[in-house]
Amino acid sequence: MGADRLQLYELSAREAHEKLVAGDVSARELTDAVLGRIDSVEERVKAFVTVLPEGARRKADAVDARIAAGEKLRPGEGVPLALKDNLCTDGVETTCSSKILKGFIPPYNATVVEKLSAAGTPFVGKVNLDEFAMGSSTENSAFFVTHNPWDLSRVPGGSSGGSTASVAAGEAFWALGSDTGGSIRQPASFCGVVGLKPTYGRVSRYGLVAFASSLDQIGPITKTVYDNALLLSLISGHDALDSTSVKTEVPDYTKACVANVKGLRLGVPAEYFAKGVSDEVAASVRKAAEKLQELGAIVEECSLPVTEYALATYYIIAPAEASSNLARYDGVRFGHRTERASTPLELFKRTREEGFGPEVKQRIMIGTYALSAGYYDAFYLKAQKVRTLIKQDFDNAFSRFDALITPTAPTPAFKIGEKTDDPLEMKLSDILTIPINMAGLPAISLPCGFSSEGLPIGLQLIGPAFSEETLLRVAYTYEQASEWHGRRAAL
């Protein structure tokens, strides 16, 4: 097995799998490579809530046994992956990076976990997130702050910061995250990796601990667009256990990875380059648009006028759904239970007071207020009407364009602690990603440059519902015509 073990963790998932198929490396060696990388850098990155070396090695050994028996490997089989810790894992603690779920061990797997386990994927561990996926920096975790591998003094983004940091640091070949308002794409932008939020209903949410059920979606985080397409193929499909899961055939998304955008019409919405978007970010994204035009796409300016209302709308709808979803954490059924209660009401109150962090408490209160008698029409109902207008805005744009080009985040990664005292400034980090969740659309973020401080900048491509193949095609074409994806964080 002559592969250089020290370098294995730097490979893309596709390259790792090709070496496995060729017999240049074993699944056990791939798994040991990332586990060794976790041992060497995790103290600085802090991506993992739980590392699972025994289970990962067992799965890798099973893959190697199949190879030894002469069986043909399935796509992606044997390539180790990290799971965001809001995905239920049978027999393994699932915390959502919250004290209230400390000690909660689910008796079942999330559907995506089940699918990947059946596909022969070793899971190296569960990774950190903002508590219950509520945040844009992974600073809201109840356990610790995750660091950006490109600059350890900066945030990795959020809420899937552990997922993106683990991939950027070489601690996993790929990872799963969840995206409610940008939680896959914004950290992918900050960490210089590829992150895709699928169309709502494309991937089963069964076993994803709910934040805002009409917005949540699980998606892939990878080093390359091809890896992203492959992982999306592995996790997509209808699931009877999720009533919002859509009955449509799952294509082989890797076939969309063709370097050809000739004739595709791409819109560049003016509103996504407004105040707050840094000059470096705007310049990098506009250069990417020019590159796609050079490669044969038709690129034109356009407008999405309702965009300016998306952030305010989101921060009514998402907390309202969170308030409802988080009511189940009562100290009775699972997770943390206070030891300082003498009545059932006191048990409920104290458990929630001790178990939830400040960001979660704030969102529960906002959501409860928005749903309360006398305010429901003024806030929640009005927000749902604006949500319809946001979707209509996109529908109008997609009557003219195949996809839209925007920045993913207004700035590169900011310093740890820089925005913690300014909640509004923190929430503005998601201003360019939130509208897509409101409309249930797919979008992908991929690297398109670096700032003067050497920090990654992300390009966001947005498409109509179930247009993941088009987005992957555009993303792959740009990726192959640029060199950004080949850079690695020098830890």
pLDDT, tens digit, for every residue of 334-367? Answer: 889 999 999 999 999 999 999 999 999 999 999 9
pLDDT digits (tens, 9 = 90+) for 164-194: 999 999 999 999 999 999 999 999 999 999 9
How many domains, in total, are found in the chain? 2
Instruction: Judge if 200 and 343 occupy the same domain.
Output: no
Residue 106 pLDDT more than 90?
Answer: yes
Answer yes or no: pTM beyond 0.85: yes
pLDDT digits (tens, 9 = 90+) for 235-286: 999 999 999 999 999 999 999 999 999 999 999 999 999 889 999 999 999 9
Instruction: Judge if 461 and 368 occupy the same domain.
Output: no
Final residue belonging to a domain, choices 381, 397, 413: 381
Instruction: Judge if 361 and 390 occupy the same domain.
Output: no
Residue 373 covered by a domain: yes
Is the four-CA dihedral 198, 201, 207, 210 of positive or negative sign? positive
Residue 316 covered by a domain: no
At CA 168, angle to CA 483 and CA 32, rounded to 5? Answer: 120
Using DSSP bridges, classify how beta strands 81-84 and 174-178 pair: parallel, antiparallel or unpaired.
parallel
pLDDT number for residue 409: 97
159, 160, 445, 467: the active-site residue: 159
pLDDT number for residue 3: 44
Closest CA to 14 of 187, 205, 212, 233: 233
Over range 84-106, report the average pLDDT: 97
pLDDT number for residue 308: 92
Can you give the residue range of the structural domain that contains 63?
5-310+384-486
pLDDT number for residue 65: 98
Over range 308-313, report the average pLDDT: 95
136, 141, 183, 236: the active-site residue: 183
Is 84 one of the annotated active-site residues of the chain?
yes
Instruction: Judge if 335 and 287 occupy the same domain.
Output: no
Other Cβ atoms within 10 Å of 261 Cβ, number: 27
pLDDT digits (tens, 9 = 90+) for 204-233: 999 999 999 999 999 999 999 999 999 999
Instruction: Judge if 252 and 300 occupy the same domain.
Output: yes
159 vs 134: CA distance, rounded Å: 6
| CATH at residue 258 | 3.90.1300.10
pLDDT digits (tens, 9 = 90+) for 392-440: 999 999 999 999 999 999 999 999 999 988 888 888 889 999 999 999 9
Q: How much is the mean pLDDT over the chain?
A: 96
Final residue belonging to a domain, choices 318, 353, 381: 381
pLDDT number for residue 432: 96
Is 98 one of the annotated active-site residues of the chain?
no
pLDDT digits (tens, 9 = 90+) for 118-158: 999 999 999 999 999 999 999 999 999 999 999 999 999 99
Residue 4 pLDDT more than 70?
Answer: no
Instruction: Judge if 365 and 390 occupy the same domain.
Output: no
Instruction: Judge if 424 and 461 occupy the same domain.
Output: yes
Residue 468 pLDDT more than 50?
Answer: yes
b (16+ CB within 10 A) / e for 66-97: bbeeeeebebbbbbbbbbbbbbbbeebebbbb
Residue 5 pLDDT more than 70?
Answer: no
Q: Would you give the DSSP letter of residue 441?
A: -
Which DSSP string do the residues of 323-337 spell out, in sequence order? HHHGGG-SSSSSS--
Instruction: Judge if 181 and 261 occupy the same domain.
Output: yes
Task: Take residue 418 and report the two structure tokens written for it.
Answer: 């820089």
Instruction: Judge if 391 and 376 occupy the same domain.
Output: no
Residue 243 covered by a domain: yes
Residue 478 pLDDT more than 80?
Answer: yes
Cross-strand pairs, 154: 415
Instruction: Judge if 356 and 406 occupy the same domain.
Output: no
Residue 227 covered by a domain: yes
3-state secondary structure of 459: strand
Residue 98 pLDDT more than 90?
Answer: yes
pLDDT number for residue 428: 84
Stated as kind and residue range, the H or E segment containing 348 is helix 344-355
pLDDT number for residue 334: 83
Q: Would you give the DSSP letter of residue 448?
A: E
pLDDT number for residue 152: 98
pLDDT number for residue 333: 85
19, 46, 59, 84: the active-site residue: 84
Q: Would you give the DSSP letter of residue 378?
A: I
Residue 2 pLDDT more than 70?
Answer: no
pLDDT number for residue 335: 86
Is 159 one of the annotated active-site residues of the chain?
yes
Residue 72 covered by a domain: yes
Final residue belonging to a domain, choices 362, 381, 400: 381
Residue 242 covered by a domain: yes
Residue 491 covered by a domain: no
State the chain's maximal CA–CA distance in angstroms: 71
Residue 482 pLDDT more than 90?
Answer: yes
Instruction: Judge if 280 and 418 occupy the same domain.
Output: yes
Residue 323 covered by a domain: no
Instruction: Judge if 22 and 39 occupy the same domain.
Output: yes
